[in-house]
């Protein structure tokens, strides 16, 4: 089949590469425009745009799927549209432009976590299992019938970045199987079952650690917002980014937000048991081990803000 592929971030790249190496023809790639990155704000192509260039595929950079994008997709005469984390909605008449419509690779077990940040919200909520789903795109957000899904139980230490990387590769193979089945006329989709939950794009407030929460919830939030936007708190009014943490290894009694050094560990109290800080990044400084940060703090009884 002739395919149009729409995607933007790194987790969409494995799917694009796998489809480009398949028997199908990726006639057009649609991705978001170059974005400023780094301290110098250098305009940089999206990971999907960079991959399309390496693969020799035609790419359209569009900030939204408007009339210009619709005309370009229609001109490509696609049999099927494939979307993986493009970052924009597909509406009519673009939704009906491909002969077989559009399918979407989504990083959750639908209908749980419909929206822009499913992996992040799954970790914040403490889900033990997540996965990837390939479903038919419809006007309602992430509500179409599901062709296939792959379940995944992430390690307890896995961050959102780790889980997205794992699901990007597992989901790419799932997606190719569905594309093959649609081409062969054997694909079957079933309606979603269960109560939908929403996973909107994360805000900065989502990344603020709530030390009054139980330890498991605190660690889930740290994992869920890593690497972006990055978990943070404040100490003596100064912002501190928490890059990694784990369950506490000492039986210490600490109030939520209270910090203490026990042995070589830096502990912070939560609503239940203390957790151990592993790696942190003070404002204006590089990442460092929590023990090094603590030694340089020079505070008698510091407390972390909530």
3-class DSSP state of 206: helix
- Phi, psi angles (nearest 5°) of residue 40: -90, 0
Query: Using CA atoms, how far apart are residues 95 and 61, in angstroms rounded to an integer?
Result: 18
CA 287 to chain centroid, in Å, comes to 22
Contact by Cβ (8 Å): 259, 303: yes
Looking at the domain assignment, is residue 193 inside a domain?
Answer: no
* Mean pLDDT, rounded, for 166-178: 98
**Other C-beta atoms lying within 10 Å of the C-beta of residue 165:** 16
Query: Using CA atoms, how far apart are residues 10 and 46, in angstroms rounded to an integer?
Result: 8
User: What is the tally of structural domains in the chain?
Assistant: 2
Contact by Cβ (8 Å): 85, 97: no
pLDDT at 301: 64
The CA dihedral of 84, 89, 92, 93, to the nearest 10 degrees, is -60
Please name every residue paired with 80 in a beta bridge, in sequence order, or none if there are none.
3
Looking at the domain assignment, is residue 282 inside a domain?
Answer: yes
Per-residue model confidence as pLDDT tens digits over 3-45: 999 999 999 999 999 999 999 999 999 999 988 887 778 889 9
Q: What is the CATH number of the domain that holds 240?
A: 3.10.25.10
Per-residue model confidence as pLDDT tens digits over 194-238: 999 999 999 999 999 999 999 999 999 999 999 999 999 998 888
Looking at the domain assignment, is residue 302 inside a domain?
Answer: no
Residue 161 and residue 228 share a domain: no
Residue 134 and residue 220 share a domain: no
Which residue's entry shows tokens 């290894």? 249
Across the chain, mean pLDDT equals: 94
Residue 132 and residue 276 share a domain: no
> Confidence class of residue 298 from pLDDT cuts 50, 70 and 90?
low
On the CB side of 106, how many CA atoms lie within 13 Å of its CA? 29
| Helical segments of 125-244, H only | 160-184, 215-224
- Reading phi first (left if > 0) and then psi (alpha if -120 to 50, else beta), residue 166 is in alpha
Looking at the domain assignment, is residue 305 inside a domain?
Answer: no
Residue 214 and residue 251 share a domain: yes
Q: Which of 150, 184, 218 is the last residue of a domain?
A: 184
Please name every residue paired with 30 in a beta bridge, in sequence order, or none if there are none.
6, 60
Strand pairing of 275-282 and 238-247?
antiparallel
Query: Using CA atoms, how far apart are residues 221 and 239, in angstroms rounded to an integer?
Result: 17
Looking at the domain assignment, is residue 101 inside a domain?
Answer: yes
Residue 179 and residue 284 share a domain: no
Residue 169 and residue 112 share a domain: yes
Residue 155 and residue 224 share a domain: no
Looking at the domain assignment, is residue 304 inside a domain?
Answer: no
3-class DSSP state of 171: helix
Per-residue model confidence as pLDDT tens digits over 120-149: 999 999 999 999 999 999 999 999 999 999
- For the whole model, what pTM was predicted? 0.94
pLDDT greater than 80 at residue 265 = yes
Looking at the domain assignment, is residue 300 inside a domain?
Answer: no
> Confidence class of residue 248 from pLDDT cuts 50, 70 and 90?
confident
Residue 239 and residue 93 share a domain: no
Query: Using CA atoms, how far apart are residues 289 and 291, in angstroms rounded to an integer?
Result: 5
Residue 132 and residue 231 share a domain: no
pLDDT at 250: 80
pLDDT greater than 80 at residue 87 = yes
Q: Which domain holds residue 99?
A: 2-184
Query: Using CA atoms, how far apart are residues 26 and 59, in angstroms rounded to an integer?
Result: 10
Q: What is the CATH number of the domain that holds 53?
A: 3.40.50.170
Query: Using CA atoms, how far apart are residues 32 and 55, in angstroms rounded to an integer?
Result: 17
Residue 235 and residue 112 share a domain: no
Residue 238 and residue 122 share a domain: no
Looking at the domain assignment, is residue 30 inside a domain?
Answer: yes
Strand pairing of 42-44 and 238-247?
unpaired
Residue 12 and residue 105 share a domain: yes
Per-residue model confidence as pLDDT tens digits over 39-78: 778 889 999 999 999 999 999 999 999 999 999 999 999 9
């Amino acid at each position: 089949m002739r395919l149009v592929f729409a995607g933007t971030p790194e987790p969409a790249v494995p799917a694009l590469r796998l489809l480009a190496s398949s028997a199908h023809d990726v006639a057009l790639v649609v991705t978001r425009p170059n974005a400023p990155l780094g301290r110098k704000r250098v305009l940089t192509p999206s990971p999907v745009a960079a991959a399309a260039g390496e693969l020799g595929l035609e790419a359209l950079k569009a900030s939204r799927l408007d009339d210009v994008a619709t005309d370009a997709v229609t001109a490509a005469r696609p049999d099927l549209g494939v979307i993986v984390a493009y970052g924009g909605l597909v509406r009519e008449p673009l939704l009906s432009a491909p002969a077989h419509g559009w399918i979407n690779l989504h990083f959750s077990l639908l209908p749980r976590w419909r929206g822009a940040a499913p992996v992040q919200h799954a970790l914040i909520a403490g889900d033990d299992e997540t996965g990837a789903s390939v479903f038919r795109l419809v006007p309602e957000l992430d509500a179409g019938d599901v062709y296939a899904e792959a379940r995944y139980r992430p390690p307890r230490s896995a961050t959102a970045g780790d889980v997205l990387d794992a699901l990007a590769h597992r989901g790419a193979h799932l997606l190719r199987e569905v594309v093959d089945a649609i081409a062969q006329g054997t694909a079957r989709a079933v309606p979603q079952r269960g109560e939908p939950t929403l996973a909107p794009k994360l805000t900065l407030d989502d990344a603020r650690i709530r030390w009054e929460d139980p330890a498991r919830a605190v660690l889930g939030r740290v994992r869920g917002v890593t690497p972006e936007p990055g978990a943070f708190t404040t100490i003596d009014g100064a912002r501190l980014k928490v890059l990694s943490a784990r369950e506490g290894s000492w039986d210490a009694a600490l109030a939520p937000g209270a910090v203490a050094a026990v042995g070589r560990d830096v502990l912070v109290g939560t609503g239940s048991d203390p957790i151990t800080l592993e790696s942190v990044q003070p404002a204006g400084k590089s990442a460092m081990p929590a023990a090094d940060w603590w030694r340089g703090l020079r505070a008698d009884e510091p407390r972390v803000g909530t």
